[in-house]
Each structure stands twice: as C-alpha cells, then as structure tokens.
C-alpha cells in the first residue's frame, strides 16, 4: 500500500531493510536558498499621523454628542 501511494505521488518507497541505500538515492541537485529580508510593517510618521487623527476624531465626536 505504501509503495502504491509513493508511486501515485511520484515518489519512491524504500523498505526498512534497504534504508541504508536511501542516502545514495537522494536528489543532490542544487536547491535555491531562501533569502530572508526584514522589512518594516509600517511607516512611523504615517502611523503616528493616523493615530493622532483617530484620537482627535474621537475627542471631537465625544464633545459634539456630550459623551463621557
């Protein structure tokens, strides 16, 4: 059953007794290395501008409708 699943998935099946041959059968082609790039999620001036504008809007609406 495992051999059939491996064949359907275009993979290979190795019995436990032949596991030592597995290293010789591995695909040794070069793989693309992952590059990690760190980028900020937001712009600090934009964030503070939005933050102050939201607080100001809330303050104006509370004063207009006399909310506490």
- How many other C-beta atoms lie within 10 A of the C-beta of residue 13? 13
Taking only the tens place, the pLDDT of each residue in 3-53 is 999 999 988 888 888 878 887 777 666 667 788 888 877 778 888 999 999
The gap from C-alpha 19 to its chain's centroid, in whole angstroms, comes to 33
In the block, residue with structure tokens 């600090």: 44
What is residue 8's predicted lDDT score, i.e. its pLDDT?
94
What is the DSSP track for 9-64? TT-----GGGGGGHHHHS-----PPP------SS-HHHHHHHHHHHHHHHHHHHHH
């Amino acid at each position: 059953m495992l051999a059939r699943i491996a064949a359907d998935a275009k993979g290979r099946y190795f019995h436990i007794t032949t596991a030592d041959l597995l290293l010789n059968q591995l695909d040794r082609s070069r793989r693309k290395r992952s590059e990690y790039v760190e980028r900020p999620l937001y712009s600090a001036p934009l964030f503070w501008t939005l933050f102050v504008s939201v607080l100001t809007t809330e303050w104006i609406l509370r004063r207009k409708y006399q909310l506490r």
